[in-house]
Each structure stands twice: as C-alpha cells, then as structure tokens.
C-alpha cells in the first residue's frame, strides 16, 4: 500500500531498453531521476501528515523511503546492461 516502487519498477527497465534502441544514453537518467523526485516528494507528504505523532510514525516513513530508494537503486543498476542490450539489438537489426 505504501510502497510505490512495485508499480514503477517494470517501467524503468523497459525505458532502458527503449533508450538503448534509440541510442540516447543521457535519457537513461530521466526515469530514475523522476522516480527519485516523486519518492522524496511523497516522503515529505507522509511526514507532514505524521505531524506531532510519536516517533514510530516517523520511523515508518523512513522505512518506506529507504525501502523504495533501495529498490530504485537496484533496478537502476540492473537497467544499465539492458541499455546495452537495446543498443546491440538496434545495431544487429540495422546491419541485417
């Protein structure tokens, strides 16, 4: 419910393959950067709702942010080889 990366995760590797196909390595940074911005904005919104609640609520907000950022880091690192797969597929099809 609170973790949003499960919904975003499939999009990042797919955009890495498409970006590799297009041959635009700088565009590879946009999806993780947008997801990071969204996660930080969402963390601020959760912390504003916590307000004067006890520390465990703040700890839960930290847990959600850390877990989502960890998942984003893993997917971002895994998408780099997929970029090269897309680039290779484009080169193979262009030669054939």
Residue 96 above 70 pLDDT? no
Q: How far apart are CA 90 and CA 96, in angstroms?
A: 10
Q: How far apart are CA 9 and CA 85, in angstroms?
A: 18
Helix (H, G, I), strand (E, B) or coil at 23: coil
More confident call, 2 vs 10: 10
Backbone angles phi, psi at 51, to 5 degrees: 60, -120
Domain coverage including residue 47: 5-95
Q: How many CB atoms lie within 10 A of CB 61?
A: 21
The DSSP call for residue 2 is -
Q: How many domains does the chain have?
A: 1
21-68 pLDDT tens trace: 998 888 888 888 998 998 889 888 877 877 666 666 777 778 888 888
Q: What pLDDT does 53 receive?
A: 62
Q: How far apart are CA 23 and CA 30, in angstroms?
A: 14
Q: What pLDDT does 81 receive?
A: 92
């Amino acid at each position: 419910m609170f973790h949003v990366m499960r919904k975003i995760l499939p999009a990042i590797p797919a955009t890495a393959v498409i970006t590799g196909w297009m041959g635009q390595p700088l565009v590879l940074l946009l999806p993780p950067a947008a997801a990071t911005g969204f996660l930080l904005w969402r963390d601020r919104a959760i912390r504003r709702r916590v307000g004067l609640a006890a520390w465990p609520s703040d700890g839960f907000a930290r847990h959600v942010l850390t877990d989502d950022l960890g998942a984003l880091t893993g997917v971002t690192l895994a998408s780099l080889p997929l970029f090269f797969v897309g680039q290779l597929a484009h080169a193979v099809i262009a030669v054939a």
